[in-house]
Chains A and B, each alone.
Chain A
Amino acid sequence: MHSLKMPIWLTAFVAAVYAFLHIPLLVLVVFSFNESKYGVSWTGFTTHWYERLWERQDIIDGLKASVVVGVSSTVISTLLGTLMALAIARHEFRGRRLMEAFLYIPIVTPEIVVGISLLILFVLVNFPLGLMSVVIAHVAFNISFVVVVVLARLQGMDRNLEEAAMILGADELTTFWRITVPLLWPGILSGAMLAFTMSFDDYVITSFVTGTGASTLPIVVYTMVRKNIEPSINAISTIILVITSLLIFAADRLGRDKPLVKSEE
């Protein structure tokens, strides 16, 4: 349509914003393969900086800690979040609106406030700071995000299928496991992947509630950024980028997934 044609200056401006969003990370990735240790002149291709990563025990340990924290906090928050979303979407109870509003508070609360207040709690009750405290914190900030994602899927779901199952004689439990769960599964997976990504990337909250033996990858990377600038940081950053991009791509595909059963039209 003629009226929807974009003026050149607008397209150029938007292209510039895209460049601003993506060129810094592309540069980072490209220079993780640069031979030169100092400066940014290109001297040749190498995978040396990636090999160096495997020699650093702190990075290996950080990666392990991040995976342990990421997986456990994802499993717990996905389970708790999905149950909450089911209650909100499928049940009438007093204070439902209030509960929905309450769930948005953790999302808008600045990370630093979440981290500090949890640190105060842990110190007050003498809870040891370590992997466990980090997992607890990650679950606390992930639950709300899982609820939002799963709730969106639940509200977009065709309830007729469930009603049809009931009319055909299935009881609530059968209907839940055979109809609701399979239909909801992409939403649950997509919520889980976002939860894992947030846990895997979190620096701010983790930095307050972490203790000995619980330095996750972002904590190690922060120390590297602070201390010295060497190409190993580019390499580890590239690895983190690749992992999160894959997860986000998968979550995005799942989120858009069509319902498993198509209604005939």
Chain B
Amino acid sequence: MNPFALRQAALRWFHRHKETQAWALLAPGFGWLGVFFLAPLLIMFGYSFMPRGEYGGVEAGFTLEHYARFADPLYIKILWRTLLDSTVCTLICLVTGYPVAYVVARATKWRNFLMFLVILPFWTSFLVRTFAMIFLLRDTGLVNTLLINLGVIQEPIIMLYTPFAVMLGLVYGFVPFMVLPIYASLEKLDLSLLEAAEVLGARPAERFFRITLPLSMPGVVAGCLLVFIPALGSFLTSDLLGGAKEILIGNLVQNQFTTARNWPFGSAASFIVMALVLLAVMIYLRARDRGNELGAQ
């Protein structure tokens, strides 16, 4: 068969099999995700119900003991601290990120550049950024050295390996996640609404709380989700900035797979993180749909 006829035959086949064509395009990627993303999650879920093996791994059987361990006050405390830290981090990011998004969305000059400055840390190495925090906060770090040289303090303030350092690190890491979606919704905002309100005599604060803020709520909700989720699963920040004192659920999971060698318990903890994430996503979707309904009215 000559190449032209082959090509015609291929085209005819594609016309007859539109749906097959779609699946042919999807198959490699979907297959990869199925084998190396979905299947591992399911196996992990299975592991969380199996007895612990002697040298890591699991043994055959069924048990709920790993989930039951989360009734222990020690683990309740870790879960509670994780939720609390993630919530506080989300709120701080909202309070610091909203004004940034607001000002950048209203900027006429430099808008793209200002936004690029927000995107840049969003993509730069989390490890490097965490190290930058260590460099500033440690006893011989820049902040303490400056304060001592200025005569403000005599002894270095202990900042590294404290809950303060962990929170600062989390906020530092996740603020850009808050700014981006809020900026996206503020940028779309119809300015004539604000002009109309001004003409009708609304004061600036009134204009903000009754027009700008409600209309940017989709961005706010998305931003909160984008900060809350990675904060929930974070362990690098607490690992490097919190020392051994600030154990979050991410650190617990990591411990079970490295030093403690209790894989099923680690799997259970990991699944609790995953469940919390999915819960957050569901709350987000409901909030978004409610927002859409209100917007339609």
A244 and B123: CB pair below 8 A? yes
Complex contacts, A113 vs chain B, CB 8 Å: 41, 44, 233, 253, 270, 273-274
Q: Report the bound CA distance from A84 to B140 in whole Å.
A: 51
Could you list 28 A-B pairs, sorted by A, with CB under 8 Å? Answer: A6-B106, A14-B100, A20-B96, A20-B175, A21-B175, A25-B129, A28-B132, A31-B135, A39-B140, A40-B145, A91-B21, A92-B22, A93-B23, A102-B33, A106-B33, A106-B37, A109-B274, A110-B250, A112-B233, A113-B274, A118-B36, A143-B29, A172-B11, A173-B7, A200-B125, A245-B124, A248-B123, A256-B112
Interface pick from B64-72, B114-122, B287-295: B114-122
Q: B135-156 vs A: 1/0 string, CB under 8 Å?
A: 1101011100100000000000
B29 and A84: CB pair below 8 A? yes
Distance in Å from the Cβ of B95 to the closest Cβ of chain A? Answer: 10
Asked whether any CB of chain A lies closer than 8 Å to the CB of B126, the reply is yes
A84 and B132: CB pair below 8 A? no
Interface residues on B, range: 35 or more
Distance in Å from the Cβ of A127 to the closest Cβ of chain B? Answer: 10
Complex contacts, B97 vs chain A, CB 8 Å: 17
For window 6-21 of chain A, which residues contact chain B by CB distance below 8 Å?
A: 6, 10-11, 13-14, 17-18, 20-21
Distance in Å from the Cβ of B227 to the closest Cβ of chain A? Answer: 12
Q: Report the bound CA distance from A87 to B30 in whole Å.
A: 11
Q: Which residues of B contact A (CB under 8 A)?
A: 7, 10-11, 14, 18-19, 21-23, 25-26, 28-30, 32-33, 36-37, 39-41, 43-44, 47, 57, 96-97, 99-100, 102-104, 106, 112, 116-121, 123-136, 138, 140-142, 145, 172, 175-176, 191, 194-195, 198, 204, 207, 229-230, 232-236, 240, 250, 253-254, 257, 263, 266-267, 270, 273-274, 277, 281
Complex contacts, B204 vs chain A, CB 8 Å: 3
Contacts A40-B140, A124-B43 given; does A110 touch B233 at CB 8 Å: yes
Complex contacts, A75 vs chain B, CB 8 Å: none
Complex contacts, B130 vs chain A, CB 8 Å: 225
Query: With contacts A117-B43, A221-B127 known, what are 8 further pairs, Cβ within 8 A?
Result: A20-B175, A24-B133, A87-B26, A110-B277, A112-B273, A114-B37, A120-B40, A248-B119
**Contacting residue for A87 out of B25, B40, B236, CB 8 A:** B25
A203 and B253: CB pair below 8 A? no
Distance in Å from the Cβ of B206 to the closest Cβ of chain A? Answer: 12
Asked whether any CB of chain B lies closer than 8 Å to the CB of A123, the reply is yes
Q: A109-131 vs B: 1/0 string, CB under 8 Å?
A: 11111101111110110000000
A116 and B103: CB pair below 8 A? no
Main SS at interface, chain B: helix
A11 and B128: CB pair below 8 A? no
Complex contacts, A203 vs chain B, CB 8 Å: 125-127, 236
Q: Chain B CB within 10 Å — which of A18, A110, A136 has the most?
A: A110
B14 and A83: CB pair below 8 A? no
- Who on chain A is nearest to B194 by CB? A3
Distance in Å from the Cβ of B222 to the closest Cβ of chain A? Answer: 12
**Contacting residue for B43 out of A86, A110, A120, CB 8 A:** A120
B22 and A120: CB pair below 8 A? no
- Who on chain B is nearest to A6 by CB? B103
Interface pick from A55-63, A158-166, A229-237: A229-237
Distance in Å from the Cβ of B281 to the closest Cβ of chain A? Answer: 6
Asked whether any CB of chain B lies closer than 8 Å to the CB of A137, the reply is yes
- Who on chain B is nearest to A103 by CB? B33
Distance in Å from the Cβ of B272 to the closest Cβ of chain A? Answer: 10
For window 127-173 of chain A, which residues contact chain B by CB distance below 8 Å?
A: 136-137, 139-141, 143-144, 147, 171-173
Complex contacts, A14 vs chain B, CB 8 Å: 99-100, 103-104
Q: Chain B CB within 10 Å — which of A79, A92, A143 has the most?
A: A143
Q: Report the bound CA distance from A217 to B19 in whole Å.
A: 43
Q: Chain B CB within 10 Å — which of A3, A13, A24 has the most?
A: A24
Distance in Å from the Cβ of A78 to the closest Cβ of chain B? Answer: 11
Complex contacts, A119 vs chain B, CB 8 Å: 257
Distance in Å from the Cβ of B28 to the closest Cβ of chain A? Answer: 5
Complex contacts, B132 vs chain A, CB 8 Å: 24-25, 27-28, 237
Going nearest first, the 10 A-B pairs with the smallest beta carbon separation are A110-B233, A117-B40, A91-B22, A80-B29, A87-B25, A24-B132, A93-B22, A117-B44, A140-B36, A121-B40
**Contacting residue for A112 out of B118, B145, B191, B254, CB 8 A:** B254
Complex contacts, A261 vs chain B, CB 8 Å: none
Asked whether any CB of chain B lies closer than 8 Å to the CB of A38, the reply is yes
Asked whether any CB of chain B lies closer than 8 Å to the CB of A208, the reply is yes
Q: Report the bound CA distance from A121 to B130 in whole Å.
A: 30
Asked whether any CB of chain B lies closer than 8 Å to the CB of A181, the reply is no
Complex contacts, A81 vs chain B, CB 8 Å: 29
Asked whether any CB of chain B lies closer than 8 Å to the CB of A41, the reply is yes
**Contacting residue for A225 out of B127, B257, B263, CB 8 A:** B127
**Contacting residue for A248 out of B36, B120, B140, CB 8 A:** B120
Complex contacts, B198 vs chain A, CB 8 Å: 3
Q: Report the bound CA distance from A22 to B118 in whole Å.
A: 9
B124 and A201: CB pair below 8 A? yes
